[in-house]
Amino acid sequence: MKIALVGYGRMGHLVHKVAEEQGHEVVSIIDPNSSEAQYNEISKDSLKDAEVAIDFTTPDSVLDNVRKVSSAKINMVVGTTGWYDQMDKVNEIVKKSGIGFIFSPNFSLGVNVFFKIIRNAAKTFNKLEDYDVYGIEYHHSRKKDSPSGTAKKLGEIILEEISRKKELQTEKLDRQIKKEELHFASVRSGEFPGTHEIGFDSEADTIKLIHTARSRKGFALGAIKAAEFVTDKKGFYTMEDMLKEMVEV
């Protein structure tokens, strides 16, 4: 593939490295804040040689980035989180432009398998009312959003599958939690690349399911796999769609 990188921070650099390791070519680096970038903005010129664009930027720039990339008829991978309140608008842009688009709160293949594991576990615990459920996540001190997109996705899965849980709480609670609430706590410190824990707790025992990222390389590799997946497609996709094509889980 010929790839345009939109955003050239830590993840952009890592995606660049992994893309070349996988035999792909980075033909454009776009970032107004990087001296290593070839272009300051997304345009037909900066995208002219690209088959797919991979976005790791900031939440407030995603909508405009999607508009510009889609106007150039380039397929797109978005790994930026924190923009999901704009989902309907992005979906509409993708549909009208006819491009292929895939996003995920976390492109790690392991995390997306973890989502499936948690969904299956939640379906089981939905029938076991003696068990309560909680979530906690850890990330490095530079992470800009809290809770993480991955934590929100895990929370959504649990609310979908455990009928007694109706509301996700991600803030500090200065009161007793209600039975219908799911509390998902966030910790930001040091160099954590990302750890997510879901626990099912009863008077008798506790069951914990944990995903710990060993490095950020897994996120970059997943983004490249997503780019390979979406290159020849049209429409709006998630990592769940990609996994269905890759494996039967």
pLDDT of residue 248: 62
d(Cα 150, Cα 104) in Å, to the nearest integer? 8
Both tokens of 145, joined, read 């959003």
Under 8 Å between Cβ of 59 and 82? yes
pLDDT of residue 249: 46
Per-residue pLDDT tens, the chain, 249 aa: give them.
Answer: 999 999 999 999 999 999 999 999 999 999 999 999 999 999 999 999 999 999 999 999 999 999 999 999 999 999 998 899 999 999 999 999 999 999 998 899 999 999 999 999 999 999 999 999 999 999 999 887 889 889 999 999 999 999 999 999 999 999 999 999 999 999 999 988 789 999 999 999 999 999 999 888 899 999 999 999 999 999 999 998 998 888 764
What Cα–Cα distance (Å) separates residue 149 from each residue in 16, 32, 103, 187? 23, 25, 11, 14
All domains in the chain, ordered by first residue = 2-107+216-246 (3.40.50.720), 109-212 (3.30.360.10)
pLDDT of residue 149: 85
**244 tagged catalytic:** no
Under 8 Å between Cβ of 225 and 18? no
Under 8 Å between Cβ of 165 and 135? no
**139 tagged catalytic:** yes
Closest CA to 235 of 97, 126, 51, 64: 97
- Strands 132-139 and 181-188, sheet pairing: parallel
How many CB atoms are closer than 10 A to CB 235? 14
Torsion-angle region of 95 (φ positive above 0: left; ψ -120 to 50: alpha; else: beta): alpha
Query: Looking at 13, 16, 139, 211, which residue is catalytic?
Result: 139
Does the N-terminal peptide bond of residue 105 adopt cis geometry, omega within 30 degrees of 0? Answer: no
Amino acid at 46: S
Q: Would the pTM of this model clear 0.85, i.e. be above it?
A: no
d(Cα 134, Cα 201) in Å, to the nearest integer? 8
Q: DSSP character for 147?
A: S
Query: Looking at 143, 217, 233, 234, which residue is catalytic?
Result: 143
